[in-house]
Amino acid sequence: MTVPPGPEDPTAAVERAFREERARVLATLIRQVGDFQLAEDALQDAFAAAVATWPRDGVPDQPRAWITVTARRRAIDRLRRARATADRTARLAELARLDAQEHRPDADPPAGAMADDRLRLIFTCCHPALAMPARVALTLRTLGGLTTGEIARAFLVSEPTMAQRLVRAKRKIAEAHIPYRVPPDEALAERLSGVLAVVYLVFNEGYGATQGDRLVRGELCSEAIRLARLLAELMPGRPEVLGLLALMLLHDARRGARVDEHGAFVPLDRQDRTRWDQGRVREGLRTLDRALGERRPGPYQLQAAIAALHAQAPSWEQTDWARIAAFYESLGRLARSPVVELNRAVAVGYAEGPAAGLDLLAPLVREEALANYQPLHAAHAELLRQAGDRAGAADAYRRGIELSANDVERAELERRLAAL
Amino acid sequence: MPQYLLLMYQPADGGPRQADGSVITDPEDFKAEHERWMRYEQDLKDAGLYVDNRGLAGAEAATTVRVRDEETQITDGPFAETKELLAGYFLIDAPDLDTALEYAAKVPSARYGSVEVRPIWG
C-alpha cells in the first residue's frame, strides 16, 4: 500500500481506510470479541468516530491501528451494556487485557497474526453448515468491499431480504458455535475446496448470467479474483488455488468481447479476439504456470489449461482442439459430469472430425436425464450439420430452440437452422 | 462448554439397516450393529463429551397434543408424517459445531438415516 504524498483530506482518508482496512480489522476484531455482529457494530462505531474526529485532530499515522483500538473499545462499551450476553464477564476481561497490552496504538499487530485472522474469516464465512447463498453473501459482505445493497442487486433479491440473510448467517455462527478458525490439517483440503467453490460461484454469478445490473456483476468477477489472489497469498503452495485464479483471469480477459454493442451475448467462436484483455491473459498464463509447477493437477488447473489454449489461439478454427479434448478427458476422470463429456465431444469433433464427436455424444443423447439440456441439443445439431446429416441437424436445432431460455441463444439457433 | 442435541432420524419403516440401506435381518448383523452403538457411546465417554442418550419407542406409540383456545386436542401419531422419524437422541458437550458435526457423522444410524445437530439454547 502506498501513502499519497502530502497531507490527505481527512474524509478521503476515512473512506480509504474503510475500503482498504475494513476486512483486515474486522477479521482480527471478530477473534478478539468472539462475535460477528458485535465486531461489525463496533467497527461501524469506530469508522463513525473517525469521520467525527479525523477532520478535527488530523489523520492518525497508523489508521488501521487507530481503527482497531477504537473498535475494540467500542466493543467493550457495547458488551458492558449488553447484560444478557453469554460469557460476558470472561469476554470483557479478555478485551480489557488486550487493551492494556497494546497501549501503543501506533503499533500494527504482526503481519502473520493478521493473515491468520483473515484466513479464519474466510473459512468461517464459507463454513459448510451455512447454506450456500449465505456463504456467498457473508463472504462478499465481510471480505469484499460490497455493500448489502450491491450484493442484493447482484443476486436479484431485495435489500431487506439480503440483509436478513446476512443477519441469519451471523446468528447461526453465534448460536451454533461455528468455530472461528482455520480447519485442522485433516479437514483442510476438503474445506479449502469448499471455499474455492464459493469464490468460483461468485465469479460465475458475475460472468454467466445475462440478467441484472451489469456494473455490479462486473464487480462480482473482480471480487472473486481479489478473493482468489488473497487466498493464493495467504495459502501458498496450493496449486488448485492458483488454478482457480488462473481460470478466472483467463475467462475475465474475454469479458469485454462477450457482449456486443447492443448488449447481446457473443459466443466464444464469434468473439472479436482483439478485444480480449491481454494483460489479464498474460497474468492468467503466468498464474497457471506457477500452479502446474507444483505438479499436483486438479479440476481448476485443468479448466484453466483449457481456457489458456483458447486464450492463445489466433482463431476458433486454429484452436488446439486435440489438446483441449485430452484435457477434458483428464477432467472427466477427476470429476465426471455430462457438461465435461459434452465439451469433450465438441473438442473431439473439431480435432478428429464430426463422426468421432458424434460417437462420444451418442450416450449423452440417449440419457433420459439430459433430454431437456439445451446445450446438448445445440452441440448435437452442430456436429450433425458438419457430418452432412441435414435432417438430423434440423431436428436437433428445433429441440434446442424449444429449450432455449433466452432470446439471444434462440435467435442464434434459428439463424443456424435457416442456414442449413 | 456448549451442548448439542444430536437428533437421530431413521426411515419410518423397518429397524436398523446396513450402510447400503437394506434392513438388517441376520442375527449376526444385529449383534454387529449393537456393538457399533456401544462403541459409539464409549467413544463419546472417552472423549469426555457424553451427557445423555435415549432411544424412543416407535412412532406408532406416539401421541401428539395441542392446546387451542384452552381446548386440548389429542391425535394419534407423531406431529408430522415424514419418511424419517425421530428415533432417539444423544446429548453431548462439544467445544464447537465442528466437533459436534464430527460426532454426528459417527452415529451408526447416520449411514442410513440422518442426524440433526441442534445447539442447546444459551
B38: domain CATH number is: 3.30.70.1060
- In this structure, what DSSP letter does residue B89 have? E
What pLDDT, on a 0 to 100 scale, did the predictor assign at position A105? 47
Q: Do B97 and A178 touch (CB under 8 A)?
A: yes
Give which of A407, A415, A410 is closest to A210, Cα–Cα. A407
What pLDDT, on a 0 to 100 scale, did the predictor assign at position B90? 98
Residue for grid cell 453473501: A137
What pLDDT, on a 0 to 100 scale, did the predictor assign at position A103? 53
Q: In what order do the strands lie in the sheet with B3-11?
A: B50-55, B84-93, B3-11, B114-119
Residue of A nearest to B122 (CA): A86
Q: Which residue has the higher pLDDT, B15 or A198?
A: A198
Q: How far is CA A310 from the centre of its chain?
A: 21
What pLDDT, on a 0 to 100 scale, did the predictor assign at position A243? 98
A129 touches B at CB < 8 Å? yes
What pLDDT, on a 0 to 100 scale, did the predictor assign at position A102? 63
Give which of A151, A257, A165 is closest to A206, Cα–Cα. A151
Question: In b/e form, how buried is each residue of B75-107, taking b as 16+ CB within 10 angstroms?
Answer: eeebeeeeeebbbbbbebbbebbbbbbebbebb
Sequence ranges of the domains in chain A: 1-107, 110-235, 239-257+275-312, 328-420
pTM, entire model: 0.87
What pLDDT, on a 0 to 100 scale, did the predictor assign at position B81? 78
Spatial distance between the Cα atoms of A104 and A261, rounded to a whole number of angstroms: 56
Q: How far is A86 from chain B (nearest CA, A)?
A: 7
CB contact at 8 A, A198 and A231: no
CB contact at 8 A, A33 and A75: yes
Q: Do B98 and A86 touch (CB under 8 A)?
A: no
Q: Which residues contact A326 (CB under 8 A, 6 or more apart)?
A: none
Dihedral sign of CA atoms A297, A298, A299, A301 in order = negative
* Contact map slice: B 62-121 vs A, CB within 8 A: 95-98, 101, 117, 119, 121
What pLDDT, on a 0 to 100 scale, did the predictor assign at position A145? 73
Give which of B78, B94, B88, B82 is closest to B108, Cα–Cα. B88
Segments in chain A below pLDDT 70: 1-7, 84-86, 102-114, 209-216
* Domain that residue B7 falls in: 3-119
What pLDDT, on a 0 to 100 scale, did the predictor assign at position A215? 67
Domain A328-420 sits in which CATH superfamily? Tetratricopeptide repeat domain (1.25.40.10)
Give which of A287, A253, A288, A285 is closest to A271, Cα–Cα. A253
Total number of domains in chain B:
1
* 3 state SS of A82: coil
CB contact at 8 A, A360 and A344: yes
Q: Do B119 and A177 touch (CB under 8 A)?
A: yes
First to last CA, chain B: 10
The pLDDT tens digits of the residues spanning A334-382 come to 988 999 999 999 999 999 999 999 999 999 999 998 999 999 999 999 9
* 3 state SS of A130: coil
Selected residue of A127, A177, A181, A182 to mutate for chain B interface (largest B Cβ count, 10 A): A177
A262 touches B at CB < 8 Å? no
**CA-to-CA separations, A249 to A260, A283, A287, B42, in angstroms, rounded:** 21, 7, 9, 51
What pLDDT, on a 0 to 100 scale, did the predictor assign at position A110? 59
What pLDDT, on a 0 to 100 scale, did the predictor assign at position A210? 54
What pLDDT, on a 0 to 100 scale, did the predictor assign at position A106? 44
Average pLDDT, chain B: 93
